[in-house]
Structure 1
Amino acid sequence: MSPEDAVRAVAARAREASHELATATRATKDAALHAMADALLAAGPDVLAANAEDVARAEADGTPANIVDRLRLDDARLAAMAQGLRDVAGLPDPVGEVVRGSTLAKGLELRQVRVPFGVVAMIYEARPNVTADAAGICLKAGNAVLLRGSSSARSSNAALVAAMRGALAATGLPEDVVQLVPGETRESVTALMRARGLVDVLIPRGGAGLIASVVEGSTVPVIETGVGNCHVYVDASADLDQALAIVLNAKTQRTSVCNAAESLLVHRDVAREFVPRVVTALQDAGVLVHGDEEFASRDGVVPATDEDHAAEFLALEISAAVVDDVEAAIAHVRRFSSGHTEAIVARDQATIRRFVAAVDAAAVVVNASTRFTDGGEFGFGAEIGISTQKLHARGPMGLPEMTSTKYVVVGDGHVR
């Protein structure tokens, strides 16, 4: 069987399974989610052994440490994945929710209700936690899911999906609502991207290269998740102790994620005091600072290029610049932002309002770390990804974002 035929075969099975899932009750779906969580924990030794194979292979191939960190599982991360499934089970079921409704002039009753997409496909790199997150959110929203992880996580993903499929069978839902896409070559990815009619929505999650490739080459509708060149702007009115804590958390709490800060902007009026403090604190945490002239005057800071200011480092590195005012900060963000998350630390309310209104991003954060742009932190449960596009969904995508809508029109013999 060719790679294209193999992909279309699993997509066809997903399509068939999606019909049964679309009408499943919340009780059935929640029971399946709890069973999947139990199965992950029960299969823990097998999952962690498979993951160790992936990690060893990645390290032998010279994979950067930040990517290995995304790939690595341990007992705590596995437990968090299982808890994520339970958290999703505890959320309201979006299917059937009435978005709006009215009685039309001629007496017809009109309702717009949420319905599943049908079949959702995920193409993603490393991060085996995405395997469980995507399966759980798609199932709760009534969608079958096709998972095409990277070859670097193939053993981990196979073990995770095997555990979850076994749990589905035990609860009476078709196993094929969760499937791995066969194949490890580019051909299988291309086949998935062109399975229009079998796959309703495709979501890429990974680096800029992967996302661009899927967006540009897919005939299946794509929800674009974006890279995160996230800025923190420290205004002249900021509480500098608070600003220091926010910058350190946003940059160093976990570097390999898209909501980590990659760029720092400091108002000129507080630069003399704040730049030495923040550089020392960042360097003490192991961060390499790529700075403009004022930052680069500090020992250990390297001169920043435009490429640095535009970079998503996903590592202990950050670009930094001094700006004249909030307008200069906004201009810098507009030039280099990826539209993910932008933060301001300030006490002046007019400045805050101006920044929030003028900055175009999926999330704007005031006096808090960029690390809060996350489905779990927002109370959505485990997220499917963070969309930086403007059609259908933007920001962390939880259960409602994994649905479409249809109109239900009820009459009593009405004719036009």
Structure 2
Amino acid sequence: MDAVTHGTLDHLTAGTLVPFGGDRYAVVDEALAAAFAPGDALHVDPGTGALLHVPAAVRRVVAEQINAAVAAFGVVRAAPRATIEAFFTAFADRLADDAVWAGIRAANAADVERARSAGRTTTRLTVSDRMRADMVDGLREWAGILLSRGSSVSADERVRHADWEVELQAAPLGVVAFVFEGRPNVFADAAGVLATGNTAVLRIGGDALGTAEAIRDGALRPALAAAGLPQGAVSLLPVRDRSAGWALFSDSRLALAVARGSGPAVAQLSGVARSAGVPVSAHGTGGAWLVADSAADVDRFAGAVRHSLDRKVCNTLNVAVLVADRAQELVPVLLAAADEAAATRSGTARVHVVEGSEGALPDGELTRQIPVHRADGVHTEPRASLLPVERLGQEWEWEDTPELTLVVVPDLAAAADLFNRWSPRFVASLISEDAAAHAWFRDAVDAPFVGDGFTRWVDGQYALAQPELGLSNWEHGRLLARAGILTGADLTTRRVFAHHDSAQQHR
């Protein structure tokens, strides 16, 4: 009898070795062995070796949503432009309706209270009038700038030969999966996939699920119905279990998996997708760097610091780098500007100072104690504390107390070297009145986003007037054929069509 070489996993035994990464293994423990049942799935995080258990019930829910998205793709890809425009307009109108928004706000209040009671962050969870306006504006922008699918990508993408020609046209990808952190506005951003004929399945962090369901029921589903589009065109996984993300990203029917959130979570999800052969667009570790050189203008520097710390998101100022010959002057400016930003939230900014740079601090800052507002309450911590240079890449996740790192360097070249070595290679901004320094800095820093002022400009809707699906850093290599801002307009492939003048054409 031939030996059995493959089959379906229906149980696990404690102590079993699970190979991964070519020469490593993980070990099944007693808890996992006891929990695993027929119909469940097991994935391995290729970065850490963590064994990821997906219960059968979660697999079924995810498969149902993907089935609906696959079926909807045939309708969406063939839908006329007017139909998709009608969807975006209807979605925006529903969010702009005060009665609808009242229901969303009530659901969000419940989500915020649940997260706060559990000691989890609510900085990005809370909806606001500004968030609502941005969602509505973004959807209306899609209705206005919707790409014309079925026409040439551009007039230049036609190559004419002597007796034949080829033409490149944009075409949709298919089903796009999103897993994102508890930011309800991303739910509307992700609907941008329909602009290029794609469909989407979304999973939002469990803390924001109630808010997302209210947006789905009050605005998304009615907008799809009004436009005559199937409900599977954009759907939300009704599951809080983290394993839903692993089940979603491991489905080989996906054309693209988009992961947004914290660095470790995004890395894990990306690993699951890649193991299943699914292309990934990862949007994880953030934190912007702001550099002030010898020719920095004090007022411009202060404004950039203050306006880069208005709230904690991925493009918030995380590391301030000052050249030594201006440090004594600019460090007090940095602290004052950071405190101005903090005053609108909780009072005083928290600062981490790289070892060797503490001499630039005013006296007493390392021993002074301040209240720091964190997710689990208010803590008494030092105003400034020392940080080893090896932790320069750490992104500070703060609630109401702005938090940043300070480092003093000999010159601009040293600043660029630190950025390229320790940062996630994401956002770099230079404050300088020297045009030659800006030209040099642009070439020297390995970042997709480079500016000369505040760092919070890095946003698809703010910068490009297109709602973003995510922002990518270059931490794990540069991106192929697109900028670091991923929008619905980017979710296309290319088809090549040929026309032969002569029936006798040959090579």
Measure how far apart 1:409 and its partner are: 1.6
For 1:289, the equivalent position in structure 2 comes to 351
1:58 aligned counterpart, secondary structure: helix
Determine if contact 2:173/2:491 at 8 Å carries over to the other structure. Answer: yes
* 2:119 corresponds to 1:72: no
2:483 counterpart of 1:394 = yes
Greater CA drift, 266-275 or 199-208: 266-275
- Which residue of 208, 214, 224 corresponds with 1:153? 208
Who is 2:281 aligned against? 223
SS at match of 1:29: helix
User: Scaled by the length of structure 1, what TM-score is found?
Assistant: 0.93
The percent of aligned pairs where both chains have the same amino acid is 31
Distance 1:282 1:75 in 2: 25
CA distance in 2, matches of 1:93, 1:322: 47
1:21 to 55, 63, 76: 76
Once structures 1 and 2 are overlaid, which stretch shifts more, 6-15 or 49-58? 6-15
Distance 1:103 1:245 in 2: 50
TM-score by length of 2: 0.77
Distance 1:18 1:287 in 2: 49
Q: Which amino acid letter does the alignment assign opposite residue 446 of structure 2?
A: D
Q: For 1:270 and 1:387, how far apart are their aligned partners in 2?
A: 32
User: Which residue of 326, 330, 353 corresponds with 1:274?
Assistant: 330
**Distance in 2 between residues matched to 1:370 and 1:405, nearest whole Å:** 34
Alignment of 1:187-266 (within 5 A): 187-196=243-252, 198-218=253-273, 219=276, 220-250=278-308, 252-254=309-311, 256-266=312-322
Other structure's SS at 2:210 match: helix
Count, aligned residues: 408
**1:250-294 deviation line (CA, Å, top 9, x unaligned):** 1x222x211111000111111121112222332353211111323
1:331 maps to 2:417:
yes
Q: Residue 94 and residue 216 in structure 1: after superposition, are their counterparts in 2 closer, same or farther (change >3 A)?
A: farther
Distance 2:148 2:113 in 1: 40
For residues 75-154 of structure 1, the aligned pairs below 5 Å read 75-93=129-147, 95=149, 96-99=151-154, 100-135=156-191, 137-154=192-209
What residue in structure 1 maps to residue 500 of structure 2?
411
Q: Which amino acid aligns with 2:127?
A: L
* Alignment-derived partner of residue 454 in structure 2: 369
Task: Supply the AA of the counterpart residue of 1:271.
Answer: A
Q: Whose helix fraction is larger, Structure 1's or Structure 2's?
A: 1
Q: Which residue of 2 aligns with 1:380?
A: 465
Root mean square deviation, CA, Å: 1.8
Structure 2 residues without counterparts, runs of 5 or longer: 1-55, 343-347, 366-383
Which whole-Å CA distance do the structure 1 matches of 2:181 and 2:288 have between them? 20
Match of 2:92 in 1: 37
CA distance in 2 between counterparts of 1:11 and 1:144 reads: 10
Q: Per the alignment, do residues 94 and 215 of structure 1 end up closer, same or farther by CA in structure 2, a change over 3 Å counting?
A: farther
- Provide the rounded CA distance (Å) in 1 between the counterparts of 2:243 and 2:397: 28
Partner amino acid, structure 1, of 2:456: R
Which gives a bigger RCO, structure 1 or 2 (Cα 8 Å, sep 6+)? 1
Matched-pair contact (CA < 8 Å) for 1:233–1:264: yes
Residue 343 of structure 1 pairs with residue 400 of structure 2: no
Q: Distance in 2 between matches of 1:357 and 1:299?
A: 39
Conserved 8 A contact 1:118-1:144? yes
Once the 2 structures are TM-superposed, how far is the Cα of residue 83 of structure 1 from its aligned partner?
Answer: 2.0
**CA contact under 8 A between 2:332 and 2:362: conserved in structure 1?**
no
1:62 aligns with 2:119: yes
Per the TM alignment, residue 392 of structure 1 is displaced from its structure 2 partner at its CA by 4.3
